[in-house]
């Protein structure tokens, strides 16, 4: 049985989509990338965008990409550190789901999954 709080939020989102211009849900998906860090190749042998493909089939679209970086620093003596800047180790794909009165009921499962993950994030 689904939590009543989740069901109330899902119903509120669907009702809002039915009464107003399109509304949007957003989430991120992290995708690892090939990179070289301090001379060591960090290769992703089976690079795949499976989660992105599944999200696309469920109505989500990629609307932005944000790199996830790690700074590489080297000790150059007493209190002297040098940074090589940020090395991209992954990317966050910013995903959008557009809800309208025509599709909100059909996308109920996506809305429910979104509300569940949002609620879990808030509750820790």
pLDDT tens series, the chain, 124 aa = 578 889 999 999 999 999 989 999 999 998 888 766 666 666 565 667 888 999 999 999 999 999 988 776 666 666 655 566 677 778 899 999 999 999 999 999 999 999 998 877 776 5
Domain layout of the chain by residue ranges: 1-22+100-124, 28-97
Predicted local distance difference test score (pLDDT) of residue 118? 80
Helix runs in the chain, H state only: 4-19, 50-57, 108-123
Predicted local distance difference test score (pLDDT) of residue 34? 73
DSSP type of residue 44: -
Predicted local distance difference test score (pLDDT) of residue 43? 58
């Amino acid at each position: 049985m689904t939590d009543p709080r989740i069901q109330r939020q899902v119903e509120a989102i669907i009702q809002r989509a039915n009464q107003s211009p399109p509304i949007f849900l957003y989430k991120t998906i992290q995708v690892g990338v090939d990179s070289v860090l301090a001379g060591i190749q960090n290769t992703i042998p089976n690079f795949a965008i499976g989660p992105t493909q599944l999200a696309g089939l469920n109505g989500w679209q990629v609307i932005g990409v944000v790199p996830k970086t790690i700074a590489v620093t080297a000790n150059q003596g007493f209190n002297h550190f040098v940074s090589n800047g940020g090395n991209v180790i992954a990317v966050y794909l910013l995903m959008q789901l557009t809800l309208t009165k025509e599709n909100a009921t059909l996308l109920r499962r996506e809305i429910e999954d979104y509300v569940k993950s949002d609620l879990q994030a808030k509750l820790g």
